[in-house]
Amino acid sequence: MDIAGSNEKNAAFDLDPEHAMILDNADRFARSELYPLAARMDNEEWWPDEAFPKIGDAGLFGITIPEAYGGTGLDLFAAGLVLQGFARWNHAMALAWVAHDNLCANNIYRNGNEDQRRRYVPDLCSGRKIGALGLTEPGAGSDALGSMRTTARRDGDDYVLNGSKIYITNGPVADVLLVYAKTDREKGAHGISAFIVEKGMPGFKVAQKLNKMGYRGSQTGELLFEECRVPAENLVGGENRGVAVVMSGLDLERAMISPICLGVAERALELSIDYAKTRRQFGKPIGSFQMVQSMIADMYVQVETIRTFTYRVLSSAAPLEIGGGGRGDIHMLTAASVMYAAEASHKVLDLAVQVHGGTGYIWESEINRLFRSTKLLEIGAGTTEVRKMIIAGELLKGMER
């Protein structure tokens, strides 16, 4: 049974022909070009330099960016489908893709001026340049804005950045980074600005590449800024306007995490069905045993509910205007979507390893690689606990404290 290729026709949220074709194209490309890279990426924390240009040549970057800037001019729903297709076959590359395409390129397009768009967005859409977002710091995780210590001071035609960022996806290989720093300490979180930093700018370096439990091969690092000089023309959205830049992309980011969970869960279900059909014990396939059937059924229900919730939220977030995120129903809905998708995919993979038995416990097996991916998305892009705070905060607005 080909779960990855057939489920959309029967999903509660039916894809129209255009969206079905987008998902199919992404799935075919990922199976052909990205899946063969997955094992080595996991084993060695290896980065395939040729992958991003191939993705760009296939027209699978810049999904939400107009054609005039090198993109494809589609919407967030289409971008989510590309991400879903990639995550089925190489979830580490899918994570690198979303950090590049959504967190960096789309943010620069949405918030940058025309000069910044022209200088940076086309190369990001072609995959000739790799993008990243620099927000989290060693002492600032869930309170990324309030606890930020990286600073930027104006010095003539430049801003001078000092500080560090950690757990930055694509950080060790990025050419273009959207970096946040405090320009006015007195204003706290409202004194933060966003800057486009390029690899090679004086004072910027990768302090270390981090070795991870899962999503191995998706490069993650610590970045260091020591008197890093960034041209003032690379200030994005105006001085002390960084919070607006962050919030404008926050709900889009959360909406785009769920498709990774969906793709991984789909692949795990497909592998488990195949294994249950072919693995024999006591003279018959283990899929004939009711307890294995129960696990398969539970996995299927989880996958379908992840899919329905993911598609609903992508549809709701797609028309979100610039600056329209970070509040209200969409803020609650995106937090709920990624919270549910991350927890449900974790449950799916736990059952998948159980179905695979000893095979699933072996590091080199594909199902083990998928299992090791599950915890990150309960932590990254806002922890499960923070997501619950957002949901409850919106539902309980107006309550006396």
The rounded distance, in Å, linking the Cα atoms of 358 and 205 is: 43
For residue 276, the Cα-to-chain-centroid distance in whole angstroms is 31
Token pair, residue 6, equals 């057939």
399 burial via Cβ count (<10 Å: 0-12, 13-18, 19+): exposed
The rounded distance, in Å, linking the Cα atoms of 41 and 183 is: 38
Residues annotated as catalytic are 253
The rounded distance, in Å, linking the Cα atoms of 125 and 113 is: 17
Angle between helix 76-89 and 290-317 (nearest 10): 150
Token pair, residue 47, equals 């980065």
Residue 371: CB atoms within 10 Å: 22
The rounded distance, in Å, linking the Cα atoms of 291 and 270 is: 18
Query: What are the residues facing 133 on neighbouring strands?
Result: 178
The rounded distance, in Å, linking the Cα atoms of 399 and 126 is: 49
The rounded distance, in Å, linking the Cα atoms of 252 and 231 is: 28
The answer to whether 223 touches 204, Cβ cutoff 8 Å, is: yes
Q: What secondary structure letter does DSSP report for 13?
A: S
Is 329 strand, coil or helix?
Answer: helix
The rounded distance, in Å, linking the Cα atoms of 203 and 158 is: 13
